[in-house]
């Protein structure tokens, strides 16, 4: 991979970072260390990823020094929002940011202890999962228009995933051994339902493109949760493994996922149906997400 010498490491035909919101090719986000890569898997050769750009917290002058050097040392999730014009980025080192790609700047950032996921709600509120930490183990709700302090919190041991369901207009959160659903009313988190997951140490939570199922992972493997029947089941044909850190499904049925090779990190991103494997040597990759399916 080519080195990243500034906030952005460009490849292909993209002249400036601000134009990445125009990317229509099938592409994926890869999060790890202080970086987020945008990768075109179709133009990748063998295991060598074709990089479109790289966001590197160490080079982002728009963020305070403490965020560049401390709070974003271990980026663990990156999600595209608002049509891919913006990114939600979280780090287990304690940082979350809503990043505007077109303007190349932070729209909101704050400290979240052991942040493992972040989600944008329709009214502009942000939800974050604060995992195991003396000041964590909770779901936190923020209003960027009101500052960096949370406006609501709810205890959730080892919170690892937060996902908004647009059809149900509710927030789902994954914890150590439960999947929980919240109503967000009057700027407060109201518990609606809770289900015991088939295992412990919940890792990742994502919504399928049809909105009918959640994919989730925990210590022993991967599962799907059917919202109509409220039941968990395995994924037919999926190459299951322990401690899967991220799992996503495209509309055409292709899976995108990461499995740790060293402790909690991996040097590879995997795809299934069809199968592909991309290598990121020297980078402690945690999660991967679709940017464009």
Report the pLDDT averaged over residues 154-160: 98
Q: What percent of the chain shows pLDDT beyond 70?
A: 92
Q: Over 90: is that where the pLDDT of 58 sits?
A: yes
Q: Which two tokens stand for residue 165?
A: 């369901």
Scan for tokens 């060293």, then name that residue.
Answer: 262
C-alpha angle 268-129-101 in degrees, rounded to nearest 5: 65
The CA angle 251-92-187, to the nearest 5 degrees, is 75
- Give the span between the Cα atoms of 181 and 228, in whole angstroms: 14
Q: What mean pLDDT is predicted for residues 122-151?
A: 96
At 23 the pLDDT is 61
Backbone conformation region of residue 211, classed left if phi is above 0, alpha if psi is from -120 to 50, else beta: left
CB within 8 A of 46, min separation 6: which ones?
Answer: none
Q: Which has the closest alpha carbon to 149: 188, 183, 112?
A: 112
pLDDT above 90 for 21? no
Take residue 168 and report the two structure tokens written for it: 């149900």
Read off the pLDDT of residues 172-221 as tens digits, 9 standing for 90 and up.
Answer: 999 999 999 999 999 999 999 999 999 999 999 999 999 999 999 999 99
Q: How far apart are CA 204 and CA 215, in angstroms?
A: 8
- The DSSP result for 182-224, as a single string, is EEEETTEEEEEEEEE-SSSS--EEEE-TTSSEEEEEETTEEEE
**Predicted local distance difference test score (pLDDT) of residue 25:** 81
Query: In the prediction, which pLDDT does 18 show?
Result: 40
pLDDT at 293: 84
Model-level pTM greater than 0.85? Answer: yes
Stretch 13-28: mean pLDDT: 55
Mean of per-residue pLDDT scores for the chain: 92
How do residues 92-131 score in pLDDT, each as one tens digit?
Answer: 999 999 999 989 999 999 999 999 999 999 999 999 999 9
229-238 LR contacts (CB < 8 Å, sep 24+): 230/195, 232/195, 232/197, 232/198, 237/273, 238/272
pLDDT(14) > 60: no
Of residues 126 and 6, more confidently modeled: 126
Tell me what pLDDT residue 114 has: 97
Domains of the chain: 17-292 (2.130.10.10)
Instruction: Please give the pLDDT value at position 24.
Output: 64
Q: Which of 32, 56, 57, 37 is nearest to 48 (CA)?
A: 37
Q: Is the dihedral of CA 14, 18, 24, 25 positive or negative?
A: positive
Query: What average pLDDT does range 243-253 have in this prediction?
Result: 97
């Amino acid at each position: 991979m080519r080195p990243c010498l500034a906030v952005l490491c460009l490849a292909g035909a993209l002249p400036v970072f601000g134009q990445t919101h125009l990317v229509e090719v099938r592409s994926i986000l890869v999060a790890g260390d202080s970086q987020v890569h945008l990768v075109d898997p179709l133009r990748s050769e063998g295991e060598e990823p074709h990089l479109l750009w790289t966001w590197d917290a160490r080079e982002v002058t728009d963020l305070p020094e403490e965020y560049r050097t401390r709070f974003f040392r271990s980026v663990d999730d990156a999600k595209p929002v608002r049509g891919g014009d913006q990114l939600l980025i979280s780090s287990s080192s304690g940082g979350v940011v809503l990043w505007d790609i077109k303007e190349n700047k932070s729209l909101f950032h704050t400290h979240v202890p052991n942040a493992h996921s972040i989600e944008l709600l329709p009214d502009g509120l942000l939800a974050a999962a604060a995992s195991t930490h003396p000041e964590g183990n909770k779901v936190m709700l923020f209003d960027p228009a009101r500052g960096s302090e949370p406006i609501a919190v709810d205890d959730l041991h080892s919170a690892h995933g937060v996902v908004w369901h647009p059809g149900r207009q509710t927030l789902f959160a994954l914890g150590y051994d439960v999947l929980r659903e919240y109503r967000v009313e009057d700027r407060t988190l109201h518990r609606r339902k809770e289900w015991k997951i088939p295992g412990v140490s919940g890792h990742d939570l994502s919504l399928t493109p049809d909105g009918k199922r959640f994919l989730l992972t925990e210590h022993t493997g991967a599962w799907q949760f059917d919202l109509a029947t409220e039941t968990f089941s395995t994924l037919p044909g999926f190459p299951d493994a322990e401690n899967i850190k991220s799992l996503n499904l495209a509309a055409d049925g292709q899976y995108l996922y990461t499995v740790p090779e060293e402790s909690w990190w991996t040097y590879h991103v995997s795809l299934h149906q069809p199968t592909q494997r991309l290598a990121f040597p020297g980078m402690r990759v945690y999660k991967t997400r679709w940017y464009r399916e």
